[in-house]
Amino acid sequence: MAYPRIREALESSSAAILQASAAALSDAWYRPPFVPNPFGATGMQVANRLPRKIVSAMGGRALHNTGLDPALATEVTSEGLAQQALTAYERVVDGVGYPGIIIGAPSGGIAYLAALMQIPYLPAQFLLSFSHKSAPDDVRGYQAFGSALIDTIRRRNPDLHAINHYDPIHDRFLVNQVNHVRLKLRGLPHAFQQFIYEHLAPGGIIFFADCTYAWDQYEIGPHHTFQVGGLGGYVSADYFDGNDELDAWLASIGAAHRGGWTLSEHWPIVEQPESEWGSLPEFKDAAQEFADASDFQFKAINGAHPEDFGALSYTAYLWEAGKNDRPPQGVLIECFNQINPTAALRAHLLPLWMPFQTDDSLAFLARMAPYLPDHLPLLLSLVPSLHQTPDTPGAPAWEEIAAKVGPVTWLGVDPRRYPLDIAARINYLPALQGWTYEHRLTQPPGMSPDNFLEMTDYLQRHGANLLPMLLEALPRMTETEQALPDPEAEAEPKLP
């Protein structure tokens, strides 16, 4: 394996999206790494009965042991990170002549699109977790340690933008054990260029996943920022200034800290592409310049929020079902780094990916619920947590929304324990595999890049009308041959 000593963090969403995309190309399962635990897989149920503080502390210490030695910061290179990412495709058979390749901002929606089009995905960023113990509310100590790492990395890698990411709410059990450094590409590594030359068909399409979701960050130096918090139920101002709800939560967990998490006023606060989900404009420019110089087509897949890519991929699977008269067998709701596009292909599930399991994602599911078929089973896969955050809804809130769509099956999660059911991390995949095995179809769904562009053209022209039209067509798809309207037609859009 190339570049073995510098590996992405186990909790990295971008690494999960890459690995899941590669697995789907070879009809294989992506096996998400779960937080290491001292009990072993067979002891998870025992751990579920222990006090939360003990489980969280033990999980955090286990993650500390999987973190990188800070001394390895001197060995980090953008080319090495790119080479390591490409090892995900070593097991893909006949991986040449792809009609398209997706590169750019990560999201589960992009993984599902890559699987449906059967094309590779290349990441735009890498999350490194360096072992470092600190108090969970010591934002300034966290920043000081991270800055030393980033200064070392940036000296050798001016082609990287580094974000020291500190989230004392969602990552509370992590920030006192590891220091997160997310490295975003500013240019296209030679390893990626060579992969594209070798695997993309002449004249093929380079799709760029362009997520413009932004977050206020401290500007520490050139191409070096510090982000407090991240996507969820709060905005950046809540992290900087605090609020009554967060102070009450801190009190409930026995923390003395109050009033938000801020650095010195010496550093200005600037709006930047969000650490985990946003894309850098200069990386998009670099990808387009490479495409133009290499006679490849370049097409942007745009979204203002990672949710947009989840909605887009769901629309694509719904479109494919109508275009090919292929009745779906269920709706698959997944989130964050717990994703498996292979299930959607094997059992023809309509996938809807959510960025996280917080209040904002619950609201996203509620907005999408009217556009989900209500006659199909709904498979619900939510990421469990080692600690309860104030913006994580309990199982009843998810059940209330999901039950409006269809009969709900929790995948590997005990709703009585959620979100603190840590055994769900190992129960998720067997549950999904079991359902898929019972419902496997011989012919998986598929969509060519040209058909995807046809759909996006239709979506741009007719917008919100598309989902209701596709949904209305589903009950009739097995009765007679169905055909979607020609996107070139100017008449009022109507499905037969």
The DSSP code sequence of 98-110 is EEEEEEES--HHH
Comparing 3 with 201, the larger pLDDT belongs to 201
pLDDT category at 496 given cuts 50, 70, 90 is very low
- For residues 322 and 370, membership in a common domain is answered with yes
Q: Is 159 helix (H, G, I), strand (E, B) or coil?
A: coil
Same domain, 101 and 196: yes
Residues 243 and 222 in one domain: yes
Residues 272 and 160 in one domain: yes
Give kind and range of the element (H or E) at residue 221: strand 214-221
User: CA geometry: angle at 24 spanning 22 and 27, to 5°?
Assistant: 120
Residue 476 falls within a domain, yes or no?
no
Least confidently predicted of 25-29, 211-215, 324-328: 324-328
- Cα–Cα distance measured from residue 78 to residue 97, given in angstroms and rounded to the nearest whole number: 26
Residue 492 has pLDDT above 60, yes or no: no
- Sorting pLDDT into bands at 50, 70 and 90, what band is 228? very high
Same domain, 180 and 292: yes
DSSP per residue, 157-182: -TTEEEEEEE-TTTTHHHHTTEEEEE
Any domain includes 19: yes
The residue-averaged pLDDT of 295-324 equals 97
Specify whether 276 is located in the same domain as 313.
no
- Which pLDDT band, with edges at 50, 70 and 90, does 425 fall under? confident
Are 383 and 357 contacting, i.e. CB atoms less than 8 angstroms apart?
yes
With cut-offs at 50, 70 and 90, classify the pLDDT of residue 58.
low
Is residue 485 a part of any domain in this protein? no
Asked whether residue 330 carries a pLDDT value surpassing 60, the answer given is yes
Is the residue at 445 inside a domain?
Answer: no
- Give residue 48's pLDDT: 63
Let me know whether 275 and 357 are in one domain: no
- The pLDDT value recorded for residue 432 is 97
Is residue 480 assigned to a domain? Answer: no
Q: Answer yes or no: are the C-beta atoms of 76 and 183 closer than 8 Å.
A: yes
* Average pLDDT of the segment spanning 119-124: 98
Q: What local confidence, expressed as pLDDT, does residue 484 receive?
A: 44
Same domain for 233 and 314, yes or no, is no
Are residue 318 and residue 253 in the same domain, yes or no?
no
pLDDT digits (tens, 9 = 90+) for 141-174: 999 999 999 999 999 999 999 999 999 999 998 9
Answer whether residue 493 shows pLDDT above 60. Answer: no
What's the CA gap between 238 and 246, in Å, rounded? 8
Look at residue 329 in the predicted model and tell me its pLDDT.
94
CA count, 13 A, side-chain hemisphere, 181: 33
Radius of gyration of the chain (CA): 22
Q: What is the pLDDT of residue 255?
A: 97
Nearest-angstrom CA–CA distance, 353 and 368: 11
CB 419 within 8 Å of CB 451: no
Q: Is there a domain that residue 40 lies in?
A: yes
Buried b (16+ CB within 10 A) or exposed e, 18-52: bbbbbbbbeeebbebebbebebeeeebeebbeeee
Which token pair is 159? 């082609």
pLDDT category at 53 given cuts 50, 70, 90 is low
- Co-location of 400 and 431 in the same domain: yes
Q: Is 163 helix (H, G, I), strand (E, B) or coil?
A: strand
Q: What is the pLDDT of residue 458?
A: 93
pLDDT band at 464 (very low <50, low <70, confident <90, very high): confident
Alpha-carbon span 48 to 423, nearest angstrom: 7
Q: Are 350 and 344 in contact (CB under 8 A)?
A: yes
SS3 state at 162: strand
Is there a domain that residue 243 lies in? Answer: yes
pLDDT at 34: 61
CA dihedral sign, ordered 114, 120, 124, 125: positive
Q: Which of 259, 281, 303 is the last residue of a domain?
A: 303
Q: Give residue 421's identity as a one-letter amino acid code.
A: D
Q: Which of the listed residues 303, 337, 362 is the one where a domain comes to its end?
A: 303
- For range 415-424, the mean pLDDT: 89
Peptide bond into 51 cis (omega under 30): no
pLDDT, mean over the chain: 90
Q: Which domain holds residue 411?
A: 307-438
Higher pLDDT, residue 38 or 20: 20
What pLDDT is stored for residue 478 in this prediction?
42
Same domain as 396, residue 331: yes
369: CATH: 3.40.50
pTM of the full structure: 0.93
Which one, of 409, 448, 442, lies nearest residue 427 by Cα? 409
**Are 62 and 115 in a shared domain?**
yes
Q: How confident is the model at residue 379 (pLDDT cuts 50, 70, 90)?
A: very high
**494 belongs to a structural domain:** no
Q: Is the pLDDT of residue 383 over 80?
A: yes
Residue that wins the pLDDT comparison between 35 and 77: 77
Among 88, 67, 89, which residue's Cα sits nearest to residue 175?
A: 67
* Mean pLDDT of the 186-207 span: 97
Of the candidate ranges 43-47, 120-124, 324-328, 351-355, the one whose mean pLDDT is the lowest:
43-47
Q: Residue 371's closest CA among 314, 329, 324? A: 314
Question: Where does a domain end: 253, 268, 303?
Answer: 303
How many domains are there within the chain?
Answer: 2
Asked if pLDDT for residue 37 goes beyond 50, the answer is no
What are the distances in angstroms from CA 467 to CA 317, 322, 334, 355? 11, 11, 20, 21
